[in-house]
């Protein structure tokens, strides 16, 4: 059983580009802080990046461009059973570099992850 599944939006609607549903139980939770199970931040970050690239129209059969993680903050723990909303706070293009400010929020609207990512692309 996967610890979480991502459902990307077909396109970016406003700021929203997908949701992450965290499983109520998964073997990963038994290994990651057994007494206080949480979804590892790296796991939620990788799902958010994959959803962002899907929503931006990157072809699934081609490799994604190399990323630079300019800043990533894991603000509060993500517990089993939570649903996270992925939001694109800003997308900026400067020549061949794109920078995206992404955020994951829980059902209460609280930010659980905030990050600034950038990548090179062909003009």
What pLDDT is attached to residue 32?
72
User: What CATH number labels 4-120?
Assistant: 3.10.129.10
3-class DSSP assignment, residue 52: helix
Predicted TM-score (pTM) of this structure: 0.88
Query: Is 65 within 8 Å of 120 (Cβ atoms)?
Result: yes
Q: Which residue has the higher pLDDT, 45 or 9?
A: 45
What are the sequence ranges of the domains in the chain?
A: 4-120
Report pLDDT digits (tens) over 77-123. Answer: 999 999 999 999 888 989 889 999 999 999 999 999 999 999 987 65
Q: 3-class secondary structure for 78-94?
A: CCCCCEEEEEEEEEEEE
How far apart are the C-alpha atoms of 76 and 49, rounded to whole Å? Answer: 19
- Starting at the edge strand that comes first in sequence, how are the strands of the sheet with 111-120 ordered? 4-13, 16-22, 83-94, 97-105, 111-120, 67-74
pLDDT band at 60 (very low <50, low <70, confident <90, very high): low
């Amino acid at each position: 059983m996967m610890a979480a599944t991502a459902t990307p939006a077909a396109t970016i609607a406003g700021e929203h580009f997908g949701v992450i549903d965290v499983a109520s139980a998964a073997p990963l939770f038994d290994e990651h802080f057994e007494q206080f199970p949480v979804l590892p931040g790296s796991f939620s970050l990788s799902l958010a990046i994959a959803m962002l690239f899907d929503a931006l129209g990157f072809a699934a059969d081609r490799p994604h461009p190399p990323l630079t993680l300019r800043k990533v903050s894991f603000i509060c723990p993500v517990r089993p059973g939570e649903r996270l909303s992925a939001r694109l706070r800003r997308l900026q293009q400067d020549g061949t570099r794109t920078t995206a400010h992404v955020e994951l929020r829980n059902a209460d609207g609280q930010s659980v992850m905030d990050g600034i990512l950038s990548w090179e692309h062909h003009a």
